[in-house]
Amino acid sequence: MDLAAKIRTIPTSAGVYLYKNAEGEVIYVGKAKNLRNRVASYFHAGRAEDAKTGTLVREAVDVDYIIVANNKEALALENHLIKQRKPRFN
């Protein structure tokens, strides 16, 4: 499944998302109240004009997500995963 198709299947729940590059390396970790909307927002026109975001969007070939119960859990998990994985775009 390509990335655009996968994004359309992401639930609208709160959670944490992990962008991966072609080597399967986690390159960015983020949190969202609505996973699908947040992940899709990276690919909207104008968003990729920012140098960092543009590079992230070009390198991202996959996205994983973890659903959580609320925003507090999302923040805690995001912080944990950033410390653990050390993604280069965070």
User: Which tens digits make up the pLDDT trace of 9-62?
Assistant: 999 999 999 999 999 999 999 999 999 999 999 887 666 567 888 899 999 999
* Average pLDDT for 63-82: 98
Q: Is 56 within the bounds of a domain?
A: yes
pLDDT of residue 46: 65
- How many structural domains comprise the chain? 1
pLDDT of residue 74: 97
Secondary-structure percent of the chain, ordered helix, strand, coil, rounded to 5: 45, 20, 35
Q: Is 70 within the bounds of a domain?
A: yes
Q: Which domain holds residue 19?
A: 3-85
Q: Is 27 within the bounds of a domain?
A: yes
59: domain CATH number is: 3.40.1440.10
In 3D space, the residue among 58, 3, 49 whose CA is nearest the CA of residue 17 turns out to be 3
- pTM, two decimals, is 0.92
Q: Is 90 within the bounds of a domain?
A: no
